[in-house]
Amino acid sequence: MKIGIAACLSASFLFFSHSAMAAEITVMAGDLPPMINQDGTGREAEIISTVLGHCGHTTTFVVQPFTRHWQSFENGSGDAVATVPVGMPTAGTQTQAYINYQNGVSFLTSSEQQADDLADLEGWNIVAFEGASNIIPGLGDVTSTFKSYREMADQKTQSKLLYGKRVNGILGDGMLFAEFSRQLQEAGASSGVDASQPIEFRAIFDPSPYAMSFRDPALAAEFDRCFAELEADGSIQEINTRWTEKYRAALEDNYLSY
């Protein structure tokens, strides 16, 4: 009788353990094409969903303007939040870095400007993504040397400002700029700017690592374990390389090591 009870308890434990392992994870995410698109695709979205899938979970993305998704998570929305600067205080438990962005400066080739490092931007009219001065190391210390500096969430508008020669350079991830440039080129004359103008991108900053934060610390540890396994077998590298190749003409060899 005792053996039968033990067997039943063991079977029940395995059943409930399996149920706890398989979960639908809601991830609060920033609107950052082609990293995270509104439909839940993209370089970063694919890494997240692949890692969680390797752990046995499914993923639903709730996409909001960048930085607002952090606030929503802080206010109780979602099981996890994406694109968290490593070390930035958030609710929940932070994972190890799972993706790097390559921030730099994009500028018109016709301007004949040089931008080999941050000091070369002195006197430029600069626009950057919202929160850039707090996220990119060293940027906040030199913005006073720019002729003008502003941050905005709408990165397509940033691109229009550059093509319209209203700013000298855009600070941000090179792949993001390449995607917004592609969208403007696709729109043609209706975009209101000549997006066919050649652009240069220079990776003048160190790569920016980003982590996830999970409300459940067990899920954070599980994410790290599954990511490490996929990184070891080359799956993460394959995703990064495949997405980078889509923008190779714009990025050349200036984007990380992909």
CATH code of the domain occupying 103-202:
3.40.190.10
In the chain, where the domains are located: 23-100+208-251, 103-202
Confirm whether 23-100+208-251 and 103-202 share one CATH topology.
Answer: yes
230 contacts: CB under 8 Å, gap ≥ 6 = 50, 51, 54, 236
Q: Over 90: is that where the pLDDT of 14 sits?
A: no
Pick the more confident residue, 104 or 15: 104
Strand spans (E) along the chain: 24-30, 58-64, 80-85, 93-94, 99-101, 103-108, 125-129, 148-152, 169-173, 199-202, 208-214
Average per-residue pLDDT for the chain: 91
- pLDDT per residue as tens digits for the range 23-52: 999 999 999 999 999 999 999 999 999 999
Tokens of 107: 């500028």
Q: How would you list the strands of the sheet with 125-129, edge to edge?
A: 148-152, 125-129, 169-173, 103-108, 199-202
Greatest mean pLDDT among 10-24, 131-145, 183-197, 215-229 = 215-229
For β-strands 125-129 and 169-173, DSSP reports them as parallel
CATH code of the domain occupying 23-100+208-251:
3.40.190.10
- pLDDT per residue as tens digits for the range 107-153: 999 999 989 999 999 999 999 998 899 889 899 999 999 999 999 98
What is the per-residue pLDDT for 38?
A: 95
